[in-house]
Structure 1
Amino acid sequence: MDDGSAGTLHRLDEFADCAEVRLRVLDIRHRAELIRLVMTERPWGVVHLAARHFIPDCETVFASTADVYAPSDSPHSEHNRVGPQGVYGWSKLLGERLLCEQTDRLGDCESVIARLFNVYGPGDPHPHLLPEILRQARRGRVLHLGDLGAARDFVYVDDVAEALVILLRRAQPGVVNVGTGTAVSGRELVDLVASLTGRHLEARVDAARLRRRSRPVSCAAADRLREIVPWWPRTRLHEGIRHTITAGRCAGHRSAGTWPERDRHNQQPYRQRPTRRAPMSAATTEIIARAVIRRDGQLLLVRQRTKSWSFLPGGHVEPGERVEAALVRELAEELGTGAKVAGFVGAVEHGYVEDGVTHHELNLIFDVAIDAAEPVSQEDHLEFRWLPLDQLADANVRPSALKNALVAADDERTPFWHGWNG
């Protein structure tokens, strides 16, 4: 297989009468055609030799990193001293040097080194700071993070992609910083996420997450990039984070945005309809573990201090997490107490529409015993109270389908199932 661009296909003429050799003229960058060929021929092995060996044919943009710079409290210009602090920075710096040596040797080869600062956006699978904040915030309100005082220059992935294409077409050879010129601390980032999601988030420093060597500040001096790309940057930080959360929610990708929203507990369940409903179009189904904690004829409820309704303690189950373990974790975060799951009470589906998006919850309810003699909220925005069970029917507890199922439960506590008729 060859695309013929080197002009050497005639050298295969000697194999024209060989049944074991078949030539296919194909550019391997044409993915669909390549897949069809492989599925048809089903080779037992592949020797990959496709490449441009004459480097001056290529214009190169090398994606490097801000980690090549020596630590500094001031924004880094392209002429600042380098001094990587880790293997990633060193690997990129060595790549820069190899590229520069090759460029100097060949003479006609042009290359640009783009030093990327902290790139963020939808679908990032790595435990970088922003994805980790979003991931932990889906599980609860207390975040365990590393150095919250360190400041980083966060640049949105779409802007980076557009800048790299422009650098390939327009830039003069050399080094260009790809950053916004503004550094934001970890604590400021948590506050911004809390503001955008309408949730109270508490960030705590986890000593196990602290690095032995840390840069207090990593920020770009982006003057050269702005000379080439006058509109830079296109996406402000709060807009980029909002895009990240929204894109994750719409895609049903829990790594970026399926949230226990600020108003999650006040949504009214859909009214039952006599006609058959259309297939549900919710972006994802969320699993929530809830605790029925009884004591002396009373039921433990929780409410947000600014709201009038209450709900059962508990929270979201993370993908791959055992439901019982998630419930114990949530109670520890909310009440600061140990808990033991005593048995399964029932399951209730719940649905609502928010911002034009259909949401679907599956609430799994368990009998739970807690260690604390008197529960004390560990989160400032939550308030716990005991409600006499004989007052439950008239109480404003949401979702109401769950309250009604508890009221209707028989004395033998037979597990119940309440489907969603939305």
Structure 2
Amino acid sequence: MVIVTGGLGFIGNELVRQLKSSGEEVVILDNKNRIAPHIQDIQNVSLAEIDITDHAMVTAFFREVKPSAVFHMAAIHYIPECNDNPERTLRVNAEGTQSILRAAAAAGVNKVVFASSGAVYADSAGLLSESTPIAPVDIYGWSKLFGEQLCQLNHSLNGTTTVIARLFNNYGPRETNPHIIPEILRQLQSTSQLQLGNISTVRDYIHTRDCAQALIRLWKSCNSGVSTVNVATGKGFTVHEIINMIGKIAGRTIDVKFDNTRVRRFDKQTQVASIDTLKQLTGWTPQVNIEEGLTDLLRFEKLI
């Protein structure tokens, strides 16, 4: 049996869905702070409504269910929210991670998959490999880096097999935060003139179906030590290119009006991953190309 923390969230619900479809027994641990929409198909999955920062409850629950593995997905990850609430971000993303790791060790969990982020890397025009210098620019990136270090410490103390999965920009249906693609689609529901900030930034966008599959492959493939792995596509697109693709798919002419209030004080220009390690460890590469993924998403949002 496996526990998925944050299993009601954006990536977590897709991970739960895929684990269930492959025959795994899954339990969700989630405080219901932010529930993904349209997840009726996983309502039959066992749910423990627990906040990961409540260590006593987390520990008791782990000892009760005795999972063999944990996918730790729960986090605050919307950058503006993190910047507005840095103390809470650290409590959830760092202290909450420590709570999960301690509880897992006490319950004899064999393997932990930790959802980290490409936000731990420095800005770089080249592909980011797992050995690229680390240089977060915001509290979210620092909180995830601290989480990684806690995973390393937990392994050294308890020997738990650990996968540190550095996730890049996920997109797909059932989003829970107004990241750039869902914000574009939200505005397109009522207008073809978008109010946006910097649209020249380059990001590596991976569909949640592919992200969940990569996490499952890594869980099954990594059987000792600590493995740090980028989970991405290896391809980068500017926001401007994403808008053009969406316009072409939807058959709409989309204009963009620059809104200075939407520009982040600190933002990296380019974040594109090397996925060589992911390929080497699992023999798998992402299956959903950006045009296909955007088409499915526009259809899901009834924009085509």
TM-score category, normalised to shorter length: 0.5 to 0.7
Alpha-carbon separation, structure 1, partners of 2:248 and 2:162: 42
Tell me what 1:148 maps to: 199
Tell me what 1:135 maps to: 186
Alpha-carbon separation, structure 1, partners of 2:104 and 2:273: 34
Mark the CA change 1:92 to 1:140 in structure 2 (over 3 Å): closer, same or farther. same
Tell me what 1:200 maps to: 253
CA positional deviation for 1:230: 3.1
CA deviations on 1:203-261 (whole Å, 9 max, x unpaired) are: 22211100111111010011111123334110000000111112x2xxxxxxxx233x6
Mark the CA change 1:166 to 1:92 in structure 2 (over 3 Å): closer, same or farther. same
Whether the 8 Å contact between 1:225 and 1:232 is mirrored in structure 2 is yes
In the TM superposition, what are the counterparts of 1:259-274 in structure 2 within 5 Å?
259=303
Say which of 274, 277, 280 aligns to 1:227.
Answer: 280
SS in 1 for 2:116: strand
Mark the CA change 1:54 to 1:144 in structure 2 (over 3 Å): closer, same or farther. closer
Tell me what 2:151 maps to: 99
Tell me what 1:184 maps to: 237
Alpha-carbon separation, structure 2, partners of 1:209 and 1:28: 39
Say which of 100, 113, 116 aligns to 1:64.
Answer: 116
In the TM superposition, what are the counterparts of 1:204-283 in structure 2 within 5 Å?
204-246=257-299, 248=300, 257-259=301-303
Alpha-carbon separation, structure 2, partners of 1:116 and 1:211: 21
Mark the CA change 1:104 to 1:186 in structure 2 (over 3 Å): closer, same or farther. same
CA positional deviation for 1:34: 7.1
Relative contact order, higher structure (CA 8 A, sep 6+): 2
CA deviations on 1:79-99 (whole Å, 9 max, x unpaired) are: 111111111111111010011
Whether the 8 Å contact between 2:233 and 2:273 is mirrored in structure 1 is yes
SS in 2 for 1:73: coil
Which amino acid is the alignment partner of residue 240 of structure 1? G
CA deviations on 1:284-305 (whole Å, 9 max, x unpaired) are: xxxxxxxxxxxxxxxxxxxxxx
Structure 1 runs, 4 residues or longer, greater than 3 Å off: 27-35
Alpha-carbon separation, structure 1, partners of 2:214 and 2:232: 10
Larger Rg: 1
Alpha-carbon separation, structure 2, partners of 1:101 and 1:198: 52
The answer to whether residue 61 in structure 2 is matched with residue 50 in structure 1 is yes
Whether the 8 Å contact between 2:221 and 2:282 is mirrored in structure 1 is no
Tell me what 2:220 maps to: 169
Which amino acid is the alignment partner of residue 51 of structure 1? F
Tell me what 2:14 maps to: none
The answer to whether residue 141 in structure 2 is matched with residue 109 in structure 1 is no
SS in 2 for 1:162: helix
Mark the CA change 1:210 to 1:29 in structure 2 (over 3 Å): closer, same or farther. closer
CA deviations on 1:170-197 (whole Å, 9 max, x unpaired) are: 0253210001111100100100000100
Alpha-carbon separation, structure 2, partners of 1:78 and 1:110: 18
Whether the 8 Å contact between 1:143 and 1:202 is mirrored in structure 2 is yes
Mark the CA change 1:230 to 1:205 in structure 2 (over 3 Å): closer, same or farther. farther
In the TM superposition, what are the counterparts of 1:373-388 in structure 2 within 5 Å?
none
Whether the 8 Å contact between 1:144 and 1:205 is mirrored in structure 2 is yes
Which amino acid is the alignment partner of residue 277 of structure 2? R
Uncovered stretches (5+) of structure 1, i.e. residues with no partner:
1-26, 36-46, 249-256, 262-422
Which amino acid is the alignment partner of residue 203 of structure 1? V
Uncovered stretches (5+) of structure 2, i.e. residues with no partner:
1-24, 29-42, 48-56, 64-102
In the TM superposition, what are the counterparts of 1:347-386 in structure 2 within 5 Å?
none
Whether the 8 Å contact between 2:214 and 2:284 is mirrored in structure 1 is no
Which amino acid is the alignment partner of residue 151 of structure 1? V
Which amino acid is the alignment partner of residue 226 of structure 1? K
Alpha-carbon separation, structure 2, partners of 1:170 and 1:100: 19
Alpha-carbon separation, structure 1, partners of 2:295 and 2:137: 32
Q: Which 10-residue stretch deviates more, 163-172 or 190-199?
A: 163-172
Alpha-carbon separation, structure 2, partners of 1:207 and 1:51: 47
Say which of 112, 116, 120 aligns to 2:171.
Answer: 120
CA positional deviation for 1:116: 0.2
Whether the 8 Å contact between 1:187 and 1:203 is mirrored in structure 2 is no
Which amino acid is the alignment partner of residue 93 of structure 1? L
